[in-house]
Structure 1
């Protein structure tokens, strides 16, 4: 009875969150509204003569208003530039051209099938955890590919398929912001961070897509193993106790949704064909050869990829080439794999497959337009600088500085993540305020970006505003026809708190040990 009462309380809480979340508009409309509010607030502040005194500057920063003569000129003359120069746009589009080719030739799915299928039954939960956490290399496609594939290999190994399904989704979502390699998400976040930091008098160390690499790699391994423990020790026993079916239930009343069916239907077998195995081997050799080539080019004396001192840190052409290297890491093996398996039969197939990736990117491009306007006006109005100065003074006044301030920032990001699922949207909103603020408190912008990752990812697997929760519910209903969204969210809760605490602990270790979180990126300003 007590357990039933607790479950009822959880359901009421989730229902309340859902009702509140449903009142928020779509990200495009949300930022359009925020853009309008920013224009009004900046104008009022400009009329009131609001200024901010940045430490180290002789002259105070004067707030500029959007509806003043110079503001109107800015809005009318920079619309296209604000969109085209939106910091993440060029990096994300470039990388996703190659990732799209790797996805559409079947390389990414084949690699995951090989990784899952080669694991013994006892290791499967940990394989699902590690691969799921690192699967954001596939972007949102990971939410659709990983869970049903995990259910398939669990079932084939005699384990509970729903445990694999839930664990795969949780690993992908709760660990979405981390990976053992640089991904397009790193380029996206770095573009937003650097675009805002560069507007400050002291922007700190330049942020690039590899600035969080060390922190991400350690976090990905630990969170992947933790996900495996939770799947094996918590979720799977719970499925057994609840009597959840191990086989798909044929229920005519179950409305699984045709979109969900077609997506799951793409994953039909774990075993690789002979051609697929040959393609993976040659793709792997291609990666090794390309890596060797880049290393040889970078390490030869006088290499154009070295800086003026013959090194690579803190800045060098090699670090500035992360987008190019990420592009090649996916494009070259995808090209080889596609030719081997027959996905690429003629030269025209290559641009055609890449074009499909751009079509899938249409939603991001539309969102980038309004995000570009918001960031540009936010920077131009100088409100971010004012908020940073006032906020830094406030935190110092109450004594909330150092790592406690970082913890408070991560908690706020986790709360907002329940309502704003898009990481780029949320980081755009928060970075404009907190990157300048923490710069004034002595933190590197790359470290603040790493702290945001902790708060941004962990809670998104338990909010009804995550559109992929509906896809997961579609898969779950094949085993539990009468399962609801609250049921799915409740089963995500065991992942959220352990993930958050572990991830925050990793960040704390990097901070207090003084270990760089990425190449040339420390926690504190020098």
Structure 2
């Protein structure tokens, strides 16, 4: 009899907490102004540190590096000569823009709507959040492309099933971001982390078992399963009910008209969001979808065969694909052609894109929808470039590592403190490889002296590396997400995004730490030949 009131009370407290986070977050300036202010803050801080001759010694480096200030002769020269390069070199642009062009063709031709109606129109509604969790957590195989591809597709899937598309949009991003460091598949990130760890262990007197891309595989598989279930549960029981309670619109506030009266949603998509519930396609749509899938499969086969040939130019110098290779660097191209070519085939057969002139038109519409991000990317690019050039990011990481080392914790509490530090630093240093390079040089030797395998320290880092990156405005893909969200909620701000990502961060962090704790307590192997303690 007392269960319901307790649940209601807890729900009320949670709602008030999240509403408070959203309210405070939305009081922040517009993202453009916010990053302009952050740029100014870093400019002033870096200059003061430069005048004070502050230096940072990156672990593994023999010489100290001086912090460079913007308001110095060197800094002003750097800014005036690199302003354009800072913008055009902003890393997400190279991922976001090509994929937006490709997805725009597939969406506005009607291919995505038809494919989703066919695949998910008759699927059980309850299973969709868990499907989004699966695709999101496994999406790291696409690297950064996952942040651009998965959220809008998840929104379309939810809409096709009559569920709230914003739940799919935000849930897809949360699963892809908060679970970025783990996957049921071996990815380039596994190889990258293993390479960094191996480089650090070379000088250790007792380095433990060798670290390779499979060293965390068992841990990753279990973690992935737990995070998929957690993501599905949160989307279904927390995120979507809260969106409904808040009255968030189920339809985009503005839909692009592509000039002939056809909605930008493509063939088969209804104007009230309900027509897409019908999984049945008319004969022309079925023919277009069939040929689009056939041609898409042929393109994928050509790419696979071309990559697997013994002398393939898409292999690395060692003849493989990991940790780096032209194939892995071609992910954006692969995603591009697998959206564009089938989209063109579908559009030509169904008549939604009958002429070649439709291609630049629909691509232009896609860019128009993301024009706000392109403007914001200018100041984002300047901020990220200054943050990296000044050396403040390295200084923060090294200072944090030194602080934790000075505490003198031992045993498993030291591992938990290490995870918490990684989560905190992840708010400032988004690149997992860059942060692991800095932290591994300090903590792998330190924990090796305490008897922990380098592979275990690497697994602990993975927990802290992912969970909080969906909370920080320094993650440029959060700005991409905000741009997508504003199609449904024009008044949404960073506080809106952060408040809706917070439950995912907290639950993912706790669940992931719990998985690591189980491996630790029962001394389970993290991967083939890699355990917890150095033997």
Q: Same fold (TM over 0.5)?
A: yes
Question: Is residue 63 from structure 1 mapped to residue 72 from structure 2 by the alignment?
Answer: no
Go from structure 1 to structure 2 and tell me whether the alpha carbon gap of 1:176 and 1:431 turns closer, same or farther (over 3 Å shift): closer
1:410–1:454 Cα contact (<8 Å) kept: no
Residue aligning to 2:209: none
Question: Is residue 408 from structure 1 mapped to residue 420 from structure 2 by the alignment?
Answer: yes
Question: Is residue 80 from structure 1 mapped to residue 91 from structure 2 by the alignment?
Answer: no
Residue aligning to 1:288: 297
Cα shift at 1:19: 3.2
Cα shift at 1:92: 2.1
Alignment of 1:333-372 (within 5 A): 333-372=342-381
Residue aligning to 2:334: 325
Go from structure 1 to structure 2 and tell me whether the alpha carbon gap of 1:172 and 1:13 turns closer, same or farther (over 3 Å shift): same
Matches of 1:179 and 1:337, distance apart in 2: 34
Residue aligning to 1:206: none
Residue aligning to 1:268: 275
Matches of 1:382 and 1:291, distance apart in 2: 42
Matches of 2:56 and 2:289, distance apart in 1: 57
Go from structure 1 to structure 2 and tell me whether the alpha carbon gap of 1:225 and 1:388 turns closer, same or farther (over 3 Å shift): closer
Residue aligning to 1:308: 317
Matches of 1:321 and 1:92, distance apart in 2: 14
Go from structure 1 to structure 2 and tell me whether the alpha carbon gap of 1:140 and 1:2 turns closer, same or farther (over 3 Å shift): closer
Matches of 1:93 and 1:490, distance apart in 2: 27
Residue aligning to 1:149: 160
Residue aligning to 1:522: none
Superposition CA RMSD, Å:
5.1
Gaps of 5+ in 1: 153-160, 181-188, 203-211, 246-253, 417-425, 475-488, 517-526
1:9-66 Cα shifts (integer Å, max 9, x gaps):
3444334323322221222211111110111111111111111223333321111111
Matches of 1:510 and 1:80, distance apart in 2: 49
Q: Report SS of the residue matched to 1:316.
A: coil
Question: Is residue 14 from structure 1 mapped to residue 24 from structure 2 by the alignment?
Answer: no
1:134–1:179 Cα contact (<8 Å) kept: no
Q: Report SS of the residue matched to 2:63.
A: coil
Go from structure 1 to structure 2 and tell me whether the alpha carbon gap of 1:326 and 1:57 turns closer, same or farther (over 3 Å shift): same
1:52–1:385 Cα contact (<8 Å) kept: yes
Residue aligning to 1:100: 104
Q: Report SS of the residue matched to 1:177.
A: helix
Gaps of 5+ in 2: 137-146, 181-187, 201-215, 256-264, 266-270, 445-454, 491-497, 529-535
1:401-421 Cα shifts (integer Å, max 9, x gaps):
98535631575489x7xxxxx
Cα shift at 1:225: 5.0
Residue aligning to 1:482: none
Question: Is residue 379 from structure 1 mapped to residue 388 from structure 2 by the alignment?
Answer: yes
1:384–1:433 Cα contact (<8 Å) kept: no
Question: Is residue 396 from structure 1 mapped to residue 405 from structure 2 by the alignment?
Answer: yes
Matches of 1:509 and 1:335, distance apart in 2: 50
Matches of 1:219 and 1:506, distance apart in 2: 6
Q: Report SS of the residue matched to 1:100.
A: helix
1:105–1:343 Cα contact (<8 Å) kept: yes
Matches of 2:218 and 2:106, distance apart in 1: 25
Go from structure 1 to structure 2 and tell me whether the alpha carbon gap of 1:315 and 1:509 turns closer, same or farther (over 3 Å shift): farther
Go from structure 1 to structure 2 and tell me whether the alpha carbon gap of 1:490 and 1:299 turns closer, same or farther (over 3 Å shift): closer
Matches of 1:127 and 1:94, distance apart in 2: 28
2:108–2:362 Cα contact (<8 Å) kept: yes
Matches of 2:360 and 2:220, distance apart in 1: 32
Residue aligning to 1:477: none
Matches of 2:82 and 2:500, distance apart in 1: 47
What TM-score results when the alignment is normalised by the length of structure 2?
0.66
Matches of 1:105 and 1:36, distance apart in 2: 44
Go from structure 1 to structure 2 and tell me whether the alpha carbon gap of 1:343 and 1:504 turns closer, same or farther (over 3 Å shift): farther
Go from structure 1 to structure 2 and tell me whether the alpha carbon gap of 1:358 and 1:111 turns closer, same or farther (over 3 Å shift): same
1:115-165 Cα shifts (integer Å, max 9, x gaps):
22243x4xx312343046637664653475344433x3xxxxxxxx6xx77
Go from structure 1 to structure 2 and tell me whether the alpha carbon gap of 1:17 and 1:504 turns closer, same or farther (over 3 Å shift): same
Question: Is residue 172 from structure 1 mapped to residue 172 from structure 2 by the alignment?
Answer: yes
Alignment of 1:26-37 (within 5 A): 26-37=30-41
Go from structure 1 to structure 2 and tell me whether the alpha carbon gap of 1:170 and 1:255 turns closer, same or farther (over 3 Å shift): closer
1:378–1:432 Cα contact (<8 Å) kept: no
Matches of 2:288 and 2:102, distance apart in 1: 17
Matches of 1:510 and 1:115, distance apart in 2: 38
2:253–2:489 Cα contact (<8 Å) kept: no
Matches of 1:503 and 1:471, distance apart in 2: 33
Alignment of 1:415-426 (within 5 A): none
Matches of 2:112 and 2:165, distance apart in 1: 19
Between 216-225 and 288-297, the greater mean CA deviation after superposition: 216-225
Go from structure 1 to structure 2 and tell me whether the alpha carbon gap of 1:214 and 1:126 turns closer, same or farther (over 3 Å shift): farther
Cα shift at 1:500: 4.8
Residue aligning to 2:494: none
Q: Report SS of the residue matched to 1:344.
A: coil
Q: Report SS of the residue matched to 1:78.
A: helix
Matches of 1:58 and 1:214, distance apart in 2: 36
Residue aligning to 1:481: none
Matches of 2:400 and 2:499, distance apart in 1: 36
Q: Report SS of the residue matched to 1:269.
A: helix
Go from structure 1 to structure 2 and tell me whether the alpha carbon gap of 1:167 and 1:85 turns closer, same or farther (over 3 Å shift): closer
Count how many residue pairs are aligned between Structure 1 and Structure 2.
444
Residue aligning to 1:455: 468
Candidates 47, 51, 58, aligned match of 2:51: 47
2:154–2:165 Cα contact (<8 Å) kept: no
Go from structure 1 to structure 2 and tell me whether the alpha carbon gap of 1:392 and 1:82 turns closer, same or farther (over 3 Å shift): same
